Structure 1
Amino acid sequence: MHSELDQLLKTGPFHVALRAAIQARGLALHRIQHRLAERGIQVGVTSLSYWQQGNRRPARPESMRAVTALEQVLDLPRDALTRLLRETASAERPAARPYRSLVDAADALQQLLAELRWPADGGVHTVLHVERVRIGARRELASRHSEQVVRAHRDGIDRYVAIHYGDAGCDVSGVRLRAGENCRPGSVRRHGPTGLVAAELLFDTRLRVGDTHMFSYTFEDGTAGPCGEYVRGFSFGGGQYVLQAGFDADALPVGCRSFARTAPGARPTQVRELDLSAPHRAVHLAHQDVKPGLLGISWDWA
């Protein structure tokens, strides 16, 4: 076996190692397809081409069986290609924790997500999220606008589920979702006792592993009582997050600070005082490498 191929089978990535193995064996793709068929494995020449070019990655059970058979056809060590696939998937999916651990009303949230048939990990993680929260004249959470970029860590993802957690007294029937760029509204589920709203945003495209998608949306609320903080939960780490809290001229807080929490109700850490900008009446936080957990801004009313 060529020394270059030996090295690629150790380091990957999968598609480069597969392409090198095919070249070293000197087999055309239709011959590989035929030899797989002899082993009872049906794979199209197009799929084989996509795999070796990195345009798609084997993920389904039948595709994984084909990869195991490819190791035999190409005279490779056992698990040489399947190991690279596992390592690639692990690298593409950042560190994570269950989202239910980031909200007080975990059971209610799980119920809403189950009704929407949303998988536990969502299939995507955030690369960049810029969020603007507007606090109204009654000190209420009036709206929050998100511009978001996500990356798929599973094939076939065509939607995102946005979660709104209203403050005490929130009337979920009055909360409205407005879909912005590159998405459209789907199903919405509401849980009145906890103030939770879960809403689908449909992409009109199916993402493959590694694909990114940029979209925007707004939740309009204004139904609850005074708001003293805004918190965003992150089940996946590694992305960038910017949060701005803007205040009505007739309802300015006397102090603002940013913070992090490991869980709801936990003691705030990374506390930093924020200066309220007089012309714009806004404060913000910015994190380059978000860790799984909670980030937010809190403020005090006179």
Structure 2
Amino acid sequence: MLSTMHDGYDATESSTVVSGGSGDTADGAFPATLRTALRRSGLPLDRVSERLRTQGLFVSPATLSSWQRGHRRPEHARSLRALDALDELLGLSDGTLRSLLGPRKPRGRVADSPRRNPGPHGHVQTAMGDGLAAVLRDADQRTQALVANEVVKVGADGAVTAVASTTVLRAHRHGATRATFAHIIDHEANEPPHISVTSGYVERSVYMKDLNLLVIDVHFGHVLAKLATEVTSYTIEVTPSGNPSTHYGRWEGSPVREYLLEARFHSSAPPRSCRHVYSEQIGASPLTEKCLAMNAPDRAHFLVTRCAPGVHGIAWGLAG
């Protein structure tokens, strides 16, 4: 059983390696513009990397160097968010660096392993195929979760009854109006869960019963300016099924600074054990598992800082 939890990423994981490139290619405008902007800023690459890190964007100096030399090009959504931050940091107009990338043109090999896809929803596409990717394809990529706090409740029959979720988001581009959330709820109810939003409204919800997956688009009810923050809060009520549940998880497509998940069990049905589980992809087996100490006979929780993209959740076994 693995026990090492991922706590971050480097954008090199999702970059295409360009053979023999010096930036003087069809995509040469991107490295040239980045190189010029970096030189004009007077900031060394390690300082730029440090400033990106304060925004939850983990791009190493080596990666920045590869980008400006044209040896690599950013492909993954996480890397593209770093470009948006670089626009502001280096005094470029919004969207400048993204616009210079052009369509993806793979040359040579791809740096990722086969299970990782450098598309905007790579963790989803490689695990479950295009069907699930289509559900998340229209997710608004202008916001990023900073802090998430969730409570999952388990009833006397051992089944999940509700999930209360609160997330603090920040807009990294102007014009954000909504955010997408994905929950993996192990239950056997035939009806989709009911969602009650505290502020804003549910613009769309998709319930994929075969995956025990609920995808929710929450509209803020207004437009966010760049770097503005928003708090979303909602409750998911699950139709009773009578069959015990074994796990709950939440998928994130980008890093989250802090994620707190608490499981509250009915006093008449305490768990035998609880584990913090992490998967890189929806539908994949856990990559890591870590036993959780019970705060009380009927409660357990975990707190992750610099939460890696993927599915974090709690798995349990009921006594008896």
- TM-score normalised by the shorter chain: which range applies? 0.5 to 0.7
Amino acid at match of 2:275: R
* Residues 10-53 of structure 1, C-alpha deviations (whole Å, 9 max, x = no match): 349xxxxxxxxxxxxxxxxxxxxxxxxxxxxxxxxxxxxxxxxx
Higher helix share: 1
Q: Distance in 1 between matches of 2:239 and 2:128?
A: 21
Query: Are 2:292 and 2:301, in contact at CA under 8 Å, matched by a contact in 1?
Result: no
The partner residue of 2:158 within 139, 150, 158 is 139
Amino acid at match of 2:306: D
Residue 231 and residue 184 in structure 1: after superposition, are their counterparts in 2 closer, same or farther (change >3 A)? same
Name which one, 1 or 2, has greater alpha-carbon Rg: 1
Structure 2 residue 243 is the aligned partner of structure 1 residue 212? no
Q: Which residue of 2 aligns with 1:291?
A: 308
Query: Are 2:182 and 2:252, in contact at CA under 8 Å, matched by a contact in 1?
Result: no
Residue 123 and residue 81 in structure 1: after superposition, are their counterparts in 2 closer, same or farther (change >3 A)? closer
Identity of aligned residues (%): 21
SS of the counterpart of 1:239? strand
Q: Distance in 1 between matches of 2:304 and 2:210?
A: 32
Query: Are 1:102 and 1:233, in contact at CA under 8 Å, matched by a contact in 2?
Result: no
Structure 2 residue 217 is the aligned partner of structure 1 residue 200? yes
Q: Distance in 1 between matches of 2:269 and 2:235?
A: 22
Structure 1 length-normalised TM: 0.61
* Residues 51-81 of structure 1, C-alpha deviations (whole Å, 9 max, x = no match): xxxxxxxx8xxxx9xxxxxxxxxxxxxxx84
- Matched residues, number: 219
Pairwise CA distance, 1:186: 2.4
Deviates more, 1:162-171 or 1:204-213: 162-171
Q: Distance in 2 between matches of 1:248 and 1:285?
A: 19
Pairwise CA distance, 1:201: 1.5
Q: Distance in 2 between matches of 1:153 and 1:127?
A: 11
Q: CA RMSD in A?
A: 3.5
Q: Which residue of 1 aligns with 2:259?
A: 241
> For 1:8-157, what aligned pairs fall within 5 Å after superposition?
9-11=41-43, 81-82=91-92, 98-99=120-121, 101-102=123-124, 105-113=128-136, 117-119=138-140, 122-157=141-176
Residue 140 and residue 146 in structure 1: after superposition, are their counterparts in 2 closer, same or farther (change >3 A)? same
Pairwise CA distance, 1:163: 2.5
Query: Are 2:157 and 2:269, in contact at CA under 8 Å, matched by a contact in 1?
Result: yes
Residue 291 and residue 248 in structure 1: after superposition, are their counterparts in 2 closer, same or farther (change >3 A)? same
SS of the counterpart of 1:299? strand
